[in-house]
Amino acid sequence: MTGHGAEPPAAHWPGGARIAVQIVLNYEEGGENNILHGDAASEAFLSEIVGAAAWPGQRHWNMESIYEYGARAGFWRLHRMLADLPVTVYGVATALARAPEQVAAMQDAGWEIASHGLKWIEYKDAPEDVERADMIAAISLHKEVTGTPPRGWYTGRCSVNTVRLAAETGQFAYVADSYADDLPYWVEIGRHDQLIVPYTLDANDMRFATPQGFNAGAQFLDYLKASFDTLYREGGRMMSIGLHCRLIGRPGRAEALRQFIDYAQAHDGVWFATRAQIADHWTAQHPHQRFARPSQMGRDAFVAAYGGVFEHSPWIAAGAHGLELGPAHDTAIGLHNALCRVFRSAGDDARLAVLNAHPDLAGKLAAAKRLTSDSTAEQASAGLDALTDAERAAFQAQNAAYLDRFGFPFIIAVRDHDKPSIMAAFGARLQNDRASELAEACRQVERIALHRLRGMLPR
């Protein structure tokens, strides 16, 4: 749920482009549910027929003719309009096999043909072995029809197993069965590092065929322009546009697409690209790097790795491991939150013990070189390892005054400070009452922990 975070990685699109525009043409006509294809019923999805329902054991002539329009007329209208642009086709393998002239036209235009599965059918209830077998068959048929295996995969009407099954083939430069981001991202599935190039259901002509969707081409155009404007202003983003031959291929809608393309091309710094080009670029610019993820560690390994984040208090890491840890806790901020939950929910005596586990600043333990490696580095970052005799005496006097007043050592996240600001904090905090200072000391302990975690985790 964290994704790329507050500051997404720089895309570095080719030529310094501000935005990558990716047009997908779904080619499904001839791969939809039809008893002629051995299916149990007719198609009922994404058509002009309001409230369409599957007809078990029957052909649905009207539905078939709507899909046929996409192949006979819509495709060619879109091909004429888009032939000079990079386009990715999500091709249903059985539909491609029934469309040799359209496939030849796609290839003549230099379009990428990715796989859209074996058939345009629902997989949410499909047994895993059935879906896997269909995926293998789709790859094989795709290669027969186009001459090359697909580099990208998108099922669309997928199951919870789809992305994993696609990754396990080791076949794909990217998988698109996600709507989770405006940029590509990596997932780890077993030994496979799979790039996800997310797709879209909002900037998508399918909303002409859904309730609360687009009623006219102007609405689609306005939505595409607004999406483009936001992403262009932000910079370094990807805009996906989803099209279907039988939907956007209708004359009253195709004009909206043409006007949007003119609008986007009138801007500087726009990179029209296939999804394969985006995948290759992202892989080169942001190759995946594996690391030991806290959320996947066993208890002993977790405590060994993070037990010292709160000084000499491994019980905090042990408690955090028992929480619901997931990918959101594989970052410094995420893991910090889990550890702090345990610290904050502990009793007063336990939290006070954590405070007392911290060494004095520039104290006897530092002089004897008996600090933990983290504390040593932290004190050195503020120059506390190179004090003059006068400075050391001043620190020791303040340490003693603070301990005498509050009963626990002075704690401050020294990585946020230098020597003068630390001394100023000593003076200011000595004026606090004990309850206020206890709360401040606990905040500083948490701040120290965050600094330590940022040095341990990639992000």
142, 244, 281, 358: the catalytic one is: 358
Residue of 21, 17, 20, 39 lying closest to 30 (CA atoms): 39
Burial label for 58, CB within 10 Å (0-12, 13-18, 19+), is exposed
Could you tell me if 142 and 158 are in contact, meaning their C-beta atoms sit under 8 angstroms apart?
Answer: no
Q: Which DSSP string do the residues of 313-363 spell out, in sequence order?
A: -HHHHHHHHTS---GGGSSHHHHHHHHHHHHHHS-HHHHHHHHHTSPPTT-
- The upper half-sphere exposure of residue 327, i.e. CA atoms within 13 Å in the direction of its Cβ, equals 9
Q: What single DSSP character describes residue 296?
A: G
Give the bridge partners for 112, in sequence order. Answer: 88
Q: Give the integer Cα–Cα distance in Å for 56 and 59.
A: 8
Q: Which DSSP string do the residues of 365-396 spell out, in sequence order?
A: HHHTT-S-HHHHHHHHHTTTTS--HHHHHHHH
Q: Write the single-letter amino acid at 56.
A: P
Active site residue 286: no
Other CB atoms within 10 Å distance of the CB of residue 92: 29
Catalytic residues: 358
